């Protein structure tokens, strides 16, 4: 007969405040197999855990039920606790009487009754628990970082500095992401290039980092410690081993295409480097715009002019597979395509209505206007500038409901730069709230106002051109009166959205995204840089709108998580995996078919059957691959294969207990 | 300006919001409706402030305002509102509640609407001449738009004939029934 | 159960650990309120739920059974809920064919961030089952069935 | 019919004489003219006992499961439905094709009501065909009985199934005769795990009935043996018929036992499966 | 087949006369059959829904009921924007809620199914068939005339009911009127309100709305404004001189109905489209365009 101990947690007043914990403990005491039942203010505290240890010793308990918060919170805490007691850590069940009972039912009587039911179910289940021992999985100490913006670069550098090998993937032809597009960064106004280009060159030179630009993830298999990843490196048509980056081909190429890096403010050639400080500092050929590759014309002038013959039009995509122990997703953000969403702001037909990133390229010394703020339409210096915030953000109907977090700060930066670089300029900022939640952020906002930026509280309803001016129609809600501000140039601070192909990547990594496509972290507060899939971590804006300080902090955190994983030669696999009772298995391979990880295979075994020794097929589970989903257990008619920790017997008992 | 008294007419505010099918807490007072409103320049309170008054349970001040009568119900505000607050419906219901206690801060608008509906009740159709004439008399600005009358007469734009609906009795009966229904809610 | 208390249905909800169970926890974190007649049974994946468990629940006296998991395509184990979908699209029909009111058995896709959907689903199913009354069709506790 | 019977006897004798097969599974006449029973002929001279007439109703295929590791080949007289049963067991990996020597018998239908709804009178797989293939029957609705049942109201169906399953005596004959039931140890016998109790009430019977229907539903070859052998005449084919109809409606047209490597409907999926769940 | 039930509206016989005669000319030319709803009543325009919700629904509901009975199966073409808004609002309200429908049937005493779709004249002419017929008939080109297409607010708002894709700058009228050879300028006040409902009872508040339309049209190079509603046309046409006088502006922008331009392109004379009836002289600009384009009648 099992000797069960039941411990009901008050969780301060969270549980005790909503249901009668004493009655639950009393009811638990009377359940069959329960030797000891008690309740305590904080079961997860030091004293609470000591209470369990003492009770185990005193009453020779062999299995434990904790009625407390969700197992997702403290199942591991109590498992670790049991490690130094004679009770096996898996002889434990947790009844969730907080998130799914105390907090969600107003009626105290009903909540208490439900808590008693949940405890009875847990006790019935734990009666069927068996001691489980974990298996160990080897760890390949090599990391894959997807996305080489500041998040990816920082994560790769930290992992590499810890002495582990890193492969850094970037889908564009140069690393640097969005940060390298910026001119200055808040709140210290230090120049973005000065703090990001050194890191970029450090990445290129680091012995532990293999840099692969123009590359994306084709497929991901395996599991933590043993991800076999196929990477597709797009054809570059330029042999980077020979090329020295002299740039002669770029000067000769006839093709003219809008430059994505410069936010379509100017054009680039088909053989190009996105920006002068690009890393790798060697050009690639864009197949969609190269006349020879499209087959429009013979051309090939770059090949003819290249002194080292580095141009190779026959180059093909390369598919490289490798095994990685951990993966860091650092795919960053993109700005929302505001034009179709906001026809009232001109819908993109006014070239002087630009986005924040377009402004950054204008004010950037290596940008198309060498840092002089000239409005795109007639390249004149704009005197009256209007900045419109929350374009696409905080807009349930047209854009996204969330706040993009960084625009309040960089719009103050934009205002400051304009007032500093254009004497006599007038800057009006239409805002709803100015959110300055960081160190020295509020002071930075004060400076922008001191510089003379006029902050008008009210959302712009319409931007239209009249007599050569862009009229921004808003309401100063503090005065309660409508206002029309004429402007030479308007900067829209548009919403951040996840990178374009994030959903396909997440499907490959079996991690999920929220409705907008932001990668879902394991727990918003407790595990912000981890995902549901063990071994897959995340850093930066791919998880949600973020500014550079938070991004770099997360990159460091993700790198730390990877180093924790790599600090051990093997990791303890969860023991809650499937196991086969070979006597019952008739080899019908129903389980083999449903396993998502191909962790179950048929194997031939010697067996004694009626007429003597025979060979027959039975299912076998590969402990390393099995992730414990239980699809096989549900597909097996005879119950030969079962999921340890959630066996048929356990669940049947749990169902019966509910209905007593 | 006297101190604000919140919730001095909270029940009326909730009724107006409920009839309009609007959740007042959706509005975070961003001002995009007032910004886009063509009539906002001549309004005593801004459209955003109308919602603010309802949020604070001060519907009494709203139904006494000129704003609800000057609204041209062009729906510019609801189409651009980031939180889909149906402001025209709020204003419409504010007008119904004002009319129930015979309030009309812009009497000309009230008179124009009454004459228009009288016309429709009598003839089943709006009669331009009677509408213009009666309105000028009742509102006191006798010569309004009189300058263009000769031009309209010469080109037969307006004339003496009355165009009436044959079953105008049905229209009258229908409208009185609808009026009683409107009083009820 | 004291006689004068309004009859409360007993509803068992198999919830997948990665999505619906997380959504239920989130509903708790946000202090959402929903009827107290649903008991959640945690399973690693909705594909762990053997249709025989559902029959067992009805047999032992449950008035309603739910199987909740991630939206197809979002399964933590990639293909788990594709099997769930087939198994219970068929079981749903079999139960109705055998005379069990179809509303008693519900399968729903509720993700980890859809706390409100979990609350609304529980409220909806609880109301549905309360309207249907106790499960007399497939319940060995009811005397006349023995 | 008789020329097939003589061909059958003659081939059986030759196979047994040459020692190509260990024994032949067929039918022999039982007491009285209108009865037959399965026959296991080991010696050539007994081949004369084999008969083939319209009373050969027993399915011969499942007996292969009682001898999964035979020393030599086993010859089996197989009608259309028997060959589907063999395909069933091959797909489930329960027998090896090389252990079976199939004597295919084209069948115009025997004294069994299922034969009015038989779409595969000709053997689907055989080593020898003991007669010309007959014309297949197509003028019937495979799910007529299920559709008719579906017209009834929920209450009527409940009442009907309750009455039927109250009769069930849990003799498990339906399980023992079904080619799709090939588990080494049936779930119903595993009392320790506690799937199925031993109580003898309508609900326990219905749980068994529904569970078995669910276990074999997506692999049922519609041979009708379960209904034929049921001592209490329960309409078991209605349950598996409903399962098959559902598979047809939800996953595209679906028939079992047509080949030796089939994947059951519930053992696979495709991305745009029907999904009426919220 | 270009065959629709037709709801003209009260202003068609009076201030909208130029719209009516140009529509009739156009309909004859392209074989558009407009079957007027017998004994239709006033749609209530802006006054009905100011007085009460059920009065605002009852008036259009009666028209829908007659159309369903006497002209079954035909969609209803409504040239006037205000009437279009009222009939559409009633149709949507009745379709969306059975309770509204039963109460309306009680009030009006007639059954209303509201299954006919409500279309503006632009929707009708904008169909493939309509465009083909107009293109074929519009032989005379008004090349060189720069126009600003003004939709007004009621033909496109609220988006929830009209379902128009881009309510800030639709393209439908441009598509149709350019068949007459005119050049449509890109401007920003296409669907902004002209304050039509308050020009009589709140003139000082409403006049600036008309002025800003002229201002934006002029600053984007428009020589004329094209409307598709009798109220917008009257409002802009009648107030232009007064605005020039009172607000010191010098707008010289005649206002045409889009059907007038199409009719002229199909050979109609100035009198046949009632140019002489305009408040702001509209003949000169059109005459000079035709003369320059060498296609004078």
**Closest residue of B to E86, CA-based?**
B73
Chain C residue numbers with beta carbons less than 8 Å from the beta carbon of D273 are: 72, 82, 85-86, 89
Q: Nearest CA of chain A to the CA of C121: how many Å?
A: 14
The packing angle between helices C51-59 and D202-217, to 10°, is 170
Q: Among A128, A157, A177, give the residue marking a domain's end.
A: A128
Distance in angstroms (rounded) separating the CA atoms of residues D227 and D235 = 6
**D→C interface, C-beta within 8 Å:** 146, 149-150, 154-155, 157-162, 187, 195, 199, 201-204, 206-207, 210-211, 213-214, 217-218, 239, 242-243, 246-247, 250-251, 265-266, 269-271, 273-278
E248 token code pair:
């010191």
Query: Tell me, what CATH number does A365's domain have?
Result: 3.50.50.60
Q: Among A436, A462, A497, give the residue marking a domain's end.
A: A497
Contacting A residues, span 29-88, partner chain C, CB-CB under 8 Å: 70-72
Q: Among D77, D95, D129, give the residue marking a domain's end.
A: D129
Owning domain of residue D169: 144-267
* Among candidate residues D242, D160, D247, the one with its CA nearest the CA of residue D206: D160
Q: How many CB pairs under 8 A join B and E?
A: 172
- The verdict on residue A123 lying in a domain is yes
Taking the CB of residue A655, how many other CB atoms lie within 10 A of it?
Answer: 27
Distance in angstroms (rounded) separating the CA atoms of residues E23 and E35 = 13
Are residues C41 and A99, on separate chains, in Cβ contact within 8 Å?
Answer: no
Contacting A residues, span 453-472, partner chain B, CB-CB under 8 Å: 457-462
Confidence category of residue E296, pLDDT binned at 50, 70, 90: low
| pLDDT 10s digits, B14-39 | 999 999 999 999 999 999 999 999 99
Distance in angstroms (rounded) separating the CA atoms of residues E1 and E33 = 9
A492 and A515 part of one domain: no
Are residues E220 and A465, on separate chains, in Cβ contact within 8 Å?
Answer: yes
D65 near A CB under 8 A = no
Are residues E219 and A465, on separate chains, in Cβ contact within 8 Å?
Answer: yes
Average pLDDT over residues D105-117: 90
* Among candidate residues A90, A63, A55, the one with its CA nearest the CA of residue A76: A90
Are residues D161 and C121, on separate chains, in Cβ contact within 8 Å?
Answer: no
Hey, what domains does chain E have and what are their CATH numbers?
A: 3-121 (1.20.1050.140), 139-293 (3.40.50.11810)
Q: Nearest CA of chain A to the CA of D197: how many Å?
A: 12
Distance in angstroms (rounded) separating the CA atoms of residues A364 and D163 = 84
Q: Nearest CA of chain A to the CA of D166: how many Å?
A: 23
Question: Looking at the DSSP assignment, which residues form a beta bridge with residue A145?
Answer: A168, A328
- The verdict on residue D138 lying in a domain is no
A477 and A507 part of one domain: no
D168 and D117 part of one domain: no
D96 and D150 part of one domain: no
A627 near C CB under 8 A = yes
Are residues C36 and A631, on separate chains, in Cβ contact within 8 Å?
Answer: no
* Among candidate residues E98, E4, E22, the one with its CA nearest the CA of residue E274: E22
Distance in angstroms (rounded) separating the CA atoms of residues E62 and E50 = 19
D76 and D158 part of one domain: no
Q: Name the residue facing A532 among C18, C56, C62 (closest C-beta).
A: C18
| pLDDT 10s digits, C55-94 | 999 998 899 999 999 998 788 887 899 999 999 999 999 9
Complex confidence, ipTM: 0.67
Q: Which helix (H) or strand (E) holds A169?
A: strand A165-170
| pLDDT 10s digits, B151-164 | 888 888 887 888 88
Distance in angstroms (rounded) separating the CA atoms of residues D80 and A101 = 59
Residue A223, SS3 per DSSP: strand
Whether residue C146 has pLDDT greater than 50: no
Distance in angstroms (rounded) separating the CA atoms of residues E193 and E172 = 18
Q: Among A284, A316, A348, give the residue marking a domain's end.
A: A316
Chain D residue numbers with beta carbons less than 8 Å from the beta carbon of C107 are: 277
Phi-psi region of E231 (alpha: psi -120 to 50; beta: other; left: phi over 0): alpha
User: Which residue of B114, B156, B181, B185 to mutate against E (max E Cβ within 10 Å)?
Assistant: B181
Q: Among D73, D105, D129, give the residue marking a domain's end.
A: D129
Q: How many CB pairs under 8 A join A and D?
A: 59
Are residues D68 and A609, on separate chains, in Cβ contact within 8 Å?
Answer: yes
Domain total in chain A: 5
Contacts of B149 (CB under 8 A, 6+ apart): B158
Domain total in chain D: 2
E114 token code pair:
């509201």
Distances (CA, A) of A178 to A149, A499, B67, E10, E253: 7, 11, 47, 60, 49
Chain A residue numbers with beta carbons less than 8 Å from the beta carbon of E165 are: none
Distance in angstroms (rounded) separating the CA atoms of residues A108 and A17 = 9
Do chains E and D touch by CB distance (3+ pairs < 8 Å)? no
Chain B residue numbers with beta carbons less than 8 Å from the beta carbon of A462 are: 35-36
Model pLDDT, residue C5 = 63
> Strand order of the sheet with strand A142-146?
A209-213, A165-170, A142-146, A326-329, A536-538
Residue spans of chain A under pLDDT 50: none
- The CA angle A183-A184-A189, to the nearest 5 degrees, is 165
- The verdict on residue D139 lying in a domain is no
- The CA angle D31-D32-D36, to the nearest 5 degrees, is 65
C54 near D CB under 8 A = no
Chain D residue numbers with beta carbons less than 8 Å from the beta carbon of A651 are: none
D103 and D196 part of one domain: no
Confidence category of residue C1, pLDDT binned at 50, 70, 90: very low
Confidence category of residue E295, pLDDT binned at 50, 70, 90: low
Integer distance in angstroms from the first to the last C-alpha of chain A? 20
Residue B162, SS3 per DSSP: coil
Model pLDDT, residue C2 = 45
Owning domain of residue A429: 334-497
* Among candidate residues B126, D65, B31, the one with its CA nearest the CA of residue E200: B126
Distance in angstroms (rounded) separating the CA atoms of residues A505 and A511 = 9
Confidence category of residue D276, pLDDT binned at 50, 70, 90: confident
Contact A19, A101 (CB under 8 A): yes
* Among candidate residues C140, C119, C1, C117, the one with its CA nearest the CA of residue C70: C117
Chain D residue numbers with beta carbons less than 8 Å from the beta carbon of C87 are: 266
Confidence category of residue C145, pLDDT binned at 50, 70, 90: very low
B35 near A CB under 8 A = yes
Do chains A and D touch by CB distance (3+ pairs < 8 Å)? yes
Confidence category of residue B131, pLDDT binned at 50, 70, 90: confident
Distance in angstroms (rounded) separating the CA atoms of residues E53 and E57 = 6
A560 and A589 part of one domain: no
Question: Looking at the DSSP assignment, which residues form a beta bridge with residue A485?
Answer: A472
Chain E residue numbers with beta carbons less than 8 Å from the beta carbon of B102 are: none
3 state SS for chain C: CCCCCCCCCCEEEEEECCCHHHHHHHHHHCCCCCCCCEEEEEECCHHHCCHHHHHHHHHCCCCEEEEEECCCCCCCCCCHHHHHHHHHHHHHHHHHHCCCCHHHEEEEECCCCCHHHHHHHHHHHHHHHHHHCCCCCCCCCCHHHC
**A→E interface, C-beta within 8 Å:** 343-344, 346-347, 349, 462, 464-467
D71 and D24 part of one domain: yes
Query: Tell me, what CATH number does A108's domain have?
Result: 3.40.50
**Closest residue of C to D161, CA-based?**
C98
Residue A34, SS3 per DSSP: strand
Whether residue C140 has pLDDT greater than 80: no
Do chains D and B touch by CB distance (3+ pairs < 8 Å)? no
Distance in angstroms (rounded) separating the CA atoms of residues C67 and A624 = 29
Model pLDDT, residue A622 = 84
- The verdict on residue D275 lying in a domain is no
Distance in angstroms (rounded) separating the CA atoms of residues D171 and B82 = 69
DSSP at E42: -
Chains adjacent to C (≥3 CB pairs closer than 8 angstroms): A, D
Q: Among D96, D129, D162, give the residue marking a domain's end.
A: D129
Hey, what domains does chain C have and what are their CATH numbers?
A: 11-145 (3.40.50)
A339 and A451 part of one domain: yes
Percent of chain D surpassing pLDDT 90: 72
Are residues E215 and A466, on separate chains, in Cβ contact within 8 Å?
Answer: yes
- The verdict on residue A656 lying in a domain is no
| pLDDT 10s digits, A319-346 | 999 999 999 999 999 999 999 999 999 9
Checking A81-85 for CB contacts under 8 A at 24+ apart, the result is A81/A49, A81/A52, A81/A53, A84/A53, A85/A52, A85/A53, A85/A56, A85/A57
A504 and A535 part of one domain: yes
Distance in angstroms (rounded) separating the CA atoms of residues A175 and A204 = 10
Whether residue E121 has pLDDT greater than 80: yes
- The verdict on residue A609 lying in a domain is yes
Contacts of D36 (CB under 8 A, 6+ apart): D27, D28, D29, D30, D51, D53, D55, D56, D57, D58
């Amino acid at each position: 007969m099992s000797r069960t101990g039941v411990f009901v947690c008050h969780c301060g007043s969270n549980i005790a405040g909503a249901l009668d914990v004493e009655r639950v403990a009393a009811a638990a005491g009377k359940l069959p197999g329960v030797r000891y039942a008690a309740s305590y203010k904080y079961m997860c505290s030091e004293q609470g855990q000591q209470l369990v240890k003492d009770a185990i010793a005193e009453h020779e308990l062999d299995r434990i039920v904790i009625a407390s918060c969700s197992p997702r919170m403290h199942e591991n805490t109590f498992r670790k606790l049991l490690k130094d007691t004679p009770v096996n850590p898996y002889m434990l069940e947790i009844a969730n009487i907080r998130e799914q009972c105390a907090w969600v039912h107003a009626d105290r009587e009903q909540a208490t009754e439900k808590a008693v039911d949940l405890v009875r179910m847990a006790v019935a289940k734990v009666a069927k628990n068996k001691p489980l021992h974990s298996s160990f999985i080897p760890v390949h100490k090599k990391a894959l970082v997807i996305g080489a913006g500041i998040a990816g670069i920082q994560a790769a550098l930290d992992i590499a500095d810890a002495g582990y090998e890193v492969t850094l993937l970037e889908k564009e032809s140069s690393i640097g992401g969005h940060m390298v597009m910026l001119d200055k960064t808040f709140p210290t106004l230090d120049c973005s290039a000065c703090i990001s280009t050194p890191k970029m060159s450090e990445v290129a030179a680091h012995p532990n980092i293999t840099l692969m630009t123009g590359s994306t993830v084709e497929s991901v298999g395996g599991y933590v410690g043993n991800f076999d990843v196929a990477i597709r490196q797009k054809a570059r048509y330029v042999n980077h081993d020979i090329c020295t980056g002299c740039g002669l081909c770029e000067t000769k190429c006839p093709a003219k295409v809008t430059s994505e890096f410069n936010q379509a403010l100017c054009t680039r050639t088909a053989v190009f480097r996105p920006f002068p400080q690009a890393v790798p500092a060697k050009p690639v050929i864009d197949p969609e715009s190269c006349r020879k590759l499209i087959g429009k014309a013979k051309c090939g002038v770059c090949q003819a002019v290249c002194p080292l013959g580095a141009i190779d039009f026959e180059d093909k995509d390369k598919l490289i597979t490798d095994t990685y122990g951990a993966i860091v997703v650092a795919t960053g953000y993109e700005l929302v395509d505001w034009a179709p969403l906001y026809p009232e702001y001109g819908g993109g037909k006014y070239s002087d209505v630009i986005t924040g990133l377009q402004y950054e390229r204008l004010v950037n010394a290596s940008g198309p206007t060498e840092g002089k703020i000239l409005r795109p339409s007639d390249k004149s210096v704009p005197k009256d500038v209007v900045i419109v915030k929350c374009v696409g953000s905080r807009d349930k109907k047209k854009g996204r409901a969330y706040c993009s977090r960084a625009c309040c700060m960089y719009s103050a930066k934009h205002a400051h730069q304009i007032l500093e670089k254009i004497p006599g300029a007038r800057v009006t900022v239409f805002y709803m709230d100015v959110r300055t939640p960081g160190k020295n952020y509020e002071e930075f906002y004060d400076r922008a106002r001191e510089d003379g930026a006029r902050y008008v509280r009210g959302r712009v309803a319409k931007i239209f051109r009249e007599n050569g001016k862009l009229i921004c129609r808003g309401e100063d809600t503090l005065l309660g009166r409508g206002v029309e501000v004429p402007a030479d140039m308007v900067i829209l601070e548009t919403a951040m959205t996840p990178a374009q192909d994030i959903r396909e990547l997440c499907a490959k990594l079996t991690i999920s995204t929220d409705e907008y496509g932001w990668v879902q972290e394991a727990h918003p507060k407790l595990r912000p840089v981890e995902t549901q899939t063990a071994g897959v971590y995340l850093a930066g804006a791919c998880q949600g709108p973020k500014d550079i300080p938070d991004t770099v902090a997360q990159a460091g955190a993700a790198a730390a998580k990877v180093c924790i994983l790599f600090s051990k030669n093997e990791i303890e696999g969860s023991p809650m995996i499937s196991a086969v009772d070979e006597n019952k298995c008739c080899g019908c391979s129903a389980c083999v078919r449903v396993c998502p990880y191909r962790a179950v295979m048929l194997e031939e075994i010697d067996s004694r059957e009626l007429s003597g020794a025979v060979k027959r097929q039975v299912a076998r589970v590969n402990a390393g691959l099995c992730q414990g989903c239980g699809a096989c257990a549900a597909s097996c008619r005879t119950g030969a294969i079962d999921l340890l920790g959630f066996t048929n017997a356990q669940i049947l008992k749990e169902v019966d207990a509910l209905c007593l | 300006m006297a101190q604000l008294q919140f919730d001095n007419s909270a029940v009326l505010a909730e009724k107006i919001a409920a009839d309009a099918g609007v959740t007042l807490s959706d509005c975070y007072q961003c001002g995009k409706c007032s910004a886009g409103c063509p009539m906002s320049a001549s309004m005593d309170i801004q459209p955003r402030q109308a919602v603010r008054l309802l949020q604070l349970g001060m519907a009494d001040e709203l139904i006494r305002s000129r704003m609800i009568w000057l609204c041209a119900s062009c729906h510019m505000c609801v189409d651009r509102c980031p939180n889909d607050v149906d402001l025209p419906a709020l204003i419409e219901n504010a007008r119904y509640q004002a009319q129930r206690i015979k309030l009309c801060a812009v009497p000309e608008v009230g008179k124009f609407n009454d004459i228009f509906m009288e016309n429709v009740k009598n003839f089943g159709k709006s009669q331009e001449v009677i509408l213009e004439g009666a309105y000028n008399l009742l509102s006191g600005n006798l010569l309004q738009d009189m300058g263009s009358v000769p031009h309209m007469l010469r080109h037969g734009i307006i004339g003496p004939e009355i165009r009436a609906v044959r079953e105008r009795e049905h229209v009258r009966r229908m409208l009185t029934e609808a009026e009683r229904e409107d009083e009820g809610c | 159960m004291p006689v004068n208390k309004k009859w409360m249905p007993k509803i068992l909800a198999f919830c997948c650990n990665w999505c619906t169970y997380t959504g239920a926890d989130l509903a708790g974190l946000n202090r959402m309120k929903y009827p107290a007649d649903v008991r959640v049974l945690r399973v690693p994946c909705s594909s762990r739920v053997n249709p025989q468990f559902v029959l067992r629940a009805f047999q032992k006296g449950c008035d309603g059974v739910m199987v909740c998991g991630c939206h197809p395509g979002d399964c933590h184990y990639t293909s788990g809920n594709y099997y769930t979908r087939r198994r219970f699209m068929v079981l749903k029909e079999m139960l109705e064919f055998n005379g069990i009111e179809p509303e008693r058995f519900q399968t729903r896709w509720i993700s980890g961030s859809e706390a409100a959907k979990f609350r609304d689903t529980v409220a909806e199913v609880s109301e549905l089952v309360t309207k249907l009354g106790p499960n007399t069709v497939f319940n060995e506790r009811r005397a006349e069935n023995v | 019919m008789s020329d097939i019977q003589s061909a059958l006897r003659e081939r059986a004798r030759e196979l047994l004489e040459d020692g190509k097969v260990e024994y032949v599974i067929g039918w022999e006449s039982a007491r009285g003219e209108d009865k037959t029973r399965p026959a296991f002929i080991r010696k050539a001279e007994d081949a004369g006992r084999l008969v083939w007439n319209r009373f050969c109703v027993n399915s011969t295929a499942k007996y292969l499961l009682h001898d999964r590791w035979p020393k030599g080949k086993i010859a089996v007289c197989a009608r259309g439905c028997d060959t589907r049963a063999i395909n069933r067991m091959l797909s489930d990996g329960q027998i090896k094709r090389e252990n079976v020597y199939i004597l295919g018998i084209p069948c115009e239908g025997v004294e069994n009501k299922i034969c009015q709804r038989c779409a595969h009178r000709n053997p689907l797989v055989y080593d020898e065909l003991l007669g010309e293939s007959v014309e297949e029957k197509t003028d019937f609705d495979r799910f007529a009985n299920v559709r008719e049942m579906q017209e009834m109201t929920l209450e009527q169906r409940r009442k009907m199934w309750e009455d039927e399953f109250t009769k069930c005596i849990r003799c498990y004959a339906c399980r023992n005769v079904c080619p799709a039931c090939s588990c080494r140890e049936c779930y119903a016998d595993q009392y320790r795990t506690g799937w199925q109790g031993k109580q003898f009430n309508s609900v326990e019977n219905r749980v068994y009935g529904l569970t078995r229907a669910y276990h074999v539903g997506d692999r049922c070859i519609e041979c009708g043996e379960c209904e034929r052998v049921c001592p209490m005449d329960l309409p078991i084919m209605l349950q598996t018929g409903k399962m098959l109809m559902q598979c047809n409606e939800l996953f595209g047209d679906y028939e079992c036992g047509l080949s030796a490597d089939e994947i059951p409907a519930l053992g696979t999926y495709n991305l745009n499966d029907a999904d009426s769940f919220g | 087949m270009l065959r629709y039930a037709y709801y003209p509206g009260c202003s068609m016989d009076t201030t909208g006369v130029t719209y009516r005669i140009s529509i009739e000319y156009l309909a004859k030319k392209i074989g558009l059959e407009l079957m007027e709803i017998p004994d239709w009543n006033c749609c209530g325009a802006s006054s009905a829904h100011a007085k009460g919700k059920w009065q605002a629904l009852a008036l259009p509901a009666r028209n829908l009921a007659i159309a369903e009975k006497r002209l079954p199966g035909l969609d209803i073409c409504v040239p006037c924007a205000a009437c279009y808004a009222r009939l559409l609002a009633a149709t949507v309200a009745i379709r969306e809620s059975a309770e509204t429908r039963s109460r309306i049937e009680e009030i009006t005493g007639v059954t209303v199914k509201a299954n006919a779709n409500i279309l503006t004249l632009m929707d009708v002419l904008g169909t493939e068939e309509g465009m083909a017929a107009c293109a074929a008939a519009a032989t005379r080109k008004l090349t060189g005339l720069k126009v600003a297409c003004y939709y007004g607010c009621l033909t496109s708002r609220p988006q929830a009911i009209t379902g128009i894709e881009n309510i800030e700058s639709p393209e439908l009228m441009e598509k149709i009127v350019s068949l007459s050879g005119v050049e449509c300028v890109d401007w920003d006040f296409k669907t902004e309100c002209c304050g039509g409902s308050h020009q009589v009872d709140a003139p000082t508040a409403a006049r600036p709305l008309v002025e800003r339309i002229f201002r934006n049209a002029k600053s984007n190079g428009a020589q004329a404004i094209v409307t598709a509603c009798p109220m917008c046309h009257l409002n802009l046409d009648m107030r232009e001189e007064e605005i020039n006088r009172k607000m010191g502006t010098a707008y010289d922008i005649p206002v045409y109905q889009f059907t007038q331009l199409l009719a002229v392109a199909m050979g109609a004379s100035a009198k046949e489209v009632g140019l002489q009836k305009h408040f702001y002289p509209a003949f000169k600009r059109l005459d000079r365009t035709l003369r320059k384009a060498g296609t004078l009648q």
